[in-house]
Structure 1
Amino acid sequence: MTTATEQLASQLQERFTDALSTVRIERRQVTVELPAARLLEVCRALRDEAAFHFEQLMDVCGVDYLHYGQADWETEETTSTGFSRGVSIGVYQESTDKPQRFAVVYHLLSLKHNRRLRLRCYTEGNPPRIDSVVDVWNSANWFEREAFDLFGILFDGHPDLRRILTDYGFVGHPFRKDFPLHGNVEVRYDPDKGRVIYQPVTIENRVLVPKVIRHDNRYMIGEPQVEDPRVNA
């Protein structure tokens, strides 16, 4: 028996044969991937065509795949260098050598058909840019401003692409994987000047070391127990 989710996936594959890169079902929801050049065309069809009728855009979010798949915490012993980007002291520099680093994810809802759809589209160029979908779904306005603010993704055609969460004069984009954990500047009130001022960061970076579980024969089943001389000392 074909479920509603499988039916939607089949409809999408049939309607957008040459426009979608992948169509798959994840967590009982259809996820499609498409190139940036076909984004507006596909989005308008998904909104207007009766078979889909995704009249509501629930969310737009950016994704940074810079360190995707890298597990820095897989270890059986500790080190003296730490395991956090927080130990790296230096000036903020963007990493631009990874292809298809940034993506934008769109979550759509069809009230008419009571179903959801997830779109993923990788950005192009440096800085990363993609077409705005504000003209398709007006609710994308602030969502795209948030993705611009936190990831530095430019949305071509957006009517008012300004920062929305960070402060005036903020440097960089804090959700990027290469953004320093301690930031770039800090603010404080200067009693001599009578105003809030910006200054270089003065906090110390924390050195994070994972908890290492060492082998202890006292807790090994089937091995002789050796009394710890420190006990009852």
Structure 2
Amino acid sequence: MSKTEAPKTIDHVVSLLQKHLGKLPVTISRTATDANIDVAPGHFRAVIEELKNRREFDFNFLRNMVGIDMQEEGLACKYQLYSYRHRQSVQVTVLTPPGNPHIPSITDLYAAANWHEREAAEMVGLVFDGHPNLKNLLLDEDVRIHPLRKDHPLQKVEILQGIEDTTPGFPF
């Protein structure tokens, strides 16, 4: 593949995913910026291994991941992966059921996941099964709150202070 080849379109990536992941229990869709795969925690590792190891994908770079509090729906984690070989990206979304925030760790597949998983565990309360050292990064070790959870005690105070102002634009 030449370095001047254009990045793959989202539709191309979606069709590639549908063709090669069709047997796995996933939902494939598109967002404004990426192809998206929704997968349950129990099938997450199989999907990630396919995305990384299958030659047609070769998603060898974990660009980012973030934990999200979906309130009554549970906690979610979104992973953005990129393939340098194919110049394509994908987002993988894992929604955990309420009260069971467990997702398998992928630190053995992507070294960058170590830091990201620790941050998501600390900030929103996700549990990454198999993580080698799931300790706090930013808060003291004995602090057991999750500051980015919607039920965090300071959330209402932050809203009253205008931190989550919904007016359009940037009021700097």
TM superposition score normalised by structure 1: 0.61
Q: Which has the higher helix share?
A: 2
| Aligned with residue 61 of structure 1, among 39, 60, 66 | 66
> Offset of 1:167 from its aligned partner?
2.0
| C-alpha distance 207-152 of structure 1, shift in aligned 2 (>3 A) | closer
| Aligned with residue 152 of structure 1, among 125, 129, 139 | 125
**1:29: which partner in 2?**
34
Cα offsets for 1:168-224 (capped at 9, x unmatched): 3213111100001179xxxxxxxxxxxxxxxxxxxxx689399xxxxxxxxxxxxxx
Structure 1 unaligned segments of length 5 or more: list them. 67-97, 184-204, 211-233
Distance 1:206 1:42 in 2: 38
| C-alpha distance 206-155 of structure 1, shift in aligned 2 (>3 A) | closer
SS of 1:6's partner is helix
| Aligned with residue 92 of structure 2, among 119, 122, 127 | 119
Cα RMSD for the two superposed structures = 2.4
Distance 2:30 2:98 in 1: 29
1:131 equivalent to 2:136? Answer: no
Letter in 2 for 1:132: S
Distance 1:146 1:37 in 2: 22
Distance 1:27 1:207 in 2: 28
Largest Rg, 1 or 2: 1
| C-alpha distance 125-151 of structure 1, shift in aligned 2 (>3 A) | same
Letter in 2 for 1:131: P
TM superposition score normalised by structure 2: 0.81
- Are the counterparts in 2 of residues 19 and 34 from structure 1 also a CA contact under 8 Å? no
Structure 2 unaligned segments of length 5 or more: list them. 1-7, 163-172
> Offset of 1:114 from its aligned partner?
0.9
1:10 equivalent to 2:38? Answer: no
Distance 1:207 1:107 in 2: 29
Identity %: 29
Residues 1-233 of structure 1 aligned to structure 2 (within 5 Å): 4-66=9-71, 98=72, 100-124=73-97, 126-181=99-154, 208=160
| C-alpha distance 37-171 of structure 1, shift in aligned 2 (>3 A) | closer
| C-alpha distance 207-62 of structure 1, shift in aligned 2 (>3 A) | closer
SS of 2:44's partner is helix
